[in-house]
């Protein structure tokens, strides 16, 4: 019997995060009994296609549908930030001008941080994967998740697997990974319900402010949906600190 055809796949940079420790930074050999798409080959090793930006097969840039027939060497790269790869096939849709997110059930704190940083972020503490994938597809939102399996769903186009455990570190990670630095707009969105905030005169909210806040702050905002009042107090200062550390 003839030897089964195989290909060699090698993953670069942070794509190795998806592989078991003993399989990182080395070539993996996989069978391609029948012609197998590059996308299927990549995902068979646990790397979601949403994380991949560039695939090189025997020195040539290909798209996800490219069929492997055996004997190829495949190099798989995450998004490049510094290299100009314009002539190559970019597989990940370009970053949106107006990035919008849907976060999974593990990321409630991150969702609030993103809203505080100005980003439109939907979150429900009982949303399952199907619901999240549906919202992302309908509203062209980027999924933020701790669940790699969610990103392997066929319908998912844009997604990011969050590595950090702690919510402020997660915010920094997402802002850096998705290149959101220039789009930060703190103090513009309700952290509880995601509605854009409105300016409100101090006099209009005075009776709802804690005593020590009344004298300390000049600028106030109100959420027209849930009526929460925001001022540039401790929470905002903390957020500014987090964002400042991102730039450092």
Q: Using CB under 5 A as the criterion, which residues of the chain lie in contact with Zn ion when the complex forms?
A: 190, 192-193, 195, 223, 225-226
Q: Least distance in Å: CB of 227 to Zn ion?
A: 7
- Nearer to Zn ion (CB atom), residue 36 or residue 191: 191
In this structure, how many other beta carbons lie within 10 angstroms of the beta carbon of residue 143?
26
Strand partners, 30: 7
Of 130 and 192, which CB lies nearer to Zn ion in the complex structure?
Answer: 192
Instruction: Give min distance, CB of 99 to Zn ion, in A.
Output: 20
Question: Of the two residues 13 and 227, which places its CB atom closer to Zn ion in the complex?
Answer: 227
Q: Is 135 or 229 the residue whose CB approaches Zn ion more closely? A: 229
Q: Are 2 and 24 in contact (CB under 8 A)?
A: no
In the bound complex, what is the minimum distance in angstroms from residue 191's beta carbon to Zn ion?
8
* Residues 98, 108: Cα–Cα separation, whole Å: 21
CB 132, min distance to Zn ion, A: 21
Between 193 and 216, name the residue whose CB sits nearer to Zn ion.
Answer: 193
CB of 198 to Zn ion, least distance (A): 11
Nearer residue to Zn ion within complex by CB, 13 or 192: 192
Find the shortest distance in angstroms from Cβ 115 to Zn ion: 9
User: How far is it between the farthest Cα atoms of the chain?
Assistant: 85
């Amino acid at each position: 019997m003839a030897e089964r055809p195989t290909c060699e796949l090698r993953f670069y940079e942070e794509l190795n995060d998806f592989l078991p420790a003993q399989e990182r930074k080395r070539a993996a050999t996989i069978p391609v009994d029948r012609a197998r798409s590059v996308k299927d080959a990549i995902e068979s090793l646990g790397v979601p296609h949403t994380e991949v930006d560039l695939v090189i097969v025997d020195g040539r840039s290909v798209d996800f549908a490219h069929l492997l027939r055996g004997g190829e060497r495949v190099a798989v790269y995450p998004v490049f930030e510094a290299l100009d790869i314009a002539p190559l096939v970019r597989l990940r849709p370009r970053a949106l001008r107006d990035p919008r997110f849907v976060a999974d059930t593990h990321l409630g704190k991150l969702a609030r941080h993103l809203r505080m940083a100005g980003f439109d972020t939907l979150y429900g503490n009982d949303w399952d994967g199907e619901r999240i994938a549906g919202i992302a597809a309908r509203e062209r939102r980027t999924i933020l998740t701790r669940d790699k399996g969610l990103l392997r769903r066929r319908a998912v186009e844009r997604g990011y697997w969050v590595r950090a455990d702690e919510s402020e570190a997660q915010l920094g990670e997402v802002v850096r990974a998705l290149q959101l630095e220039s789009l930060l707009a703190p103090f513009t969105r309700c952290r509880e319900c995601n509605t854009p905030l409105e300016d409100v005169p101090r006099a209009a909210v005075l009776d709802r402010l804690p005593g020590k806040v009344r004298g300390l702050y000049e600028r106030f905002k109100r959420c027209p949906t849930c009526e929460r009042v925001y001022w540039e107090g401790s929470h905002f200062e903390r957020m500014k600190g987090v964002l400042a550390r991102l730039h450092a």
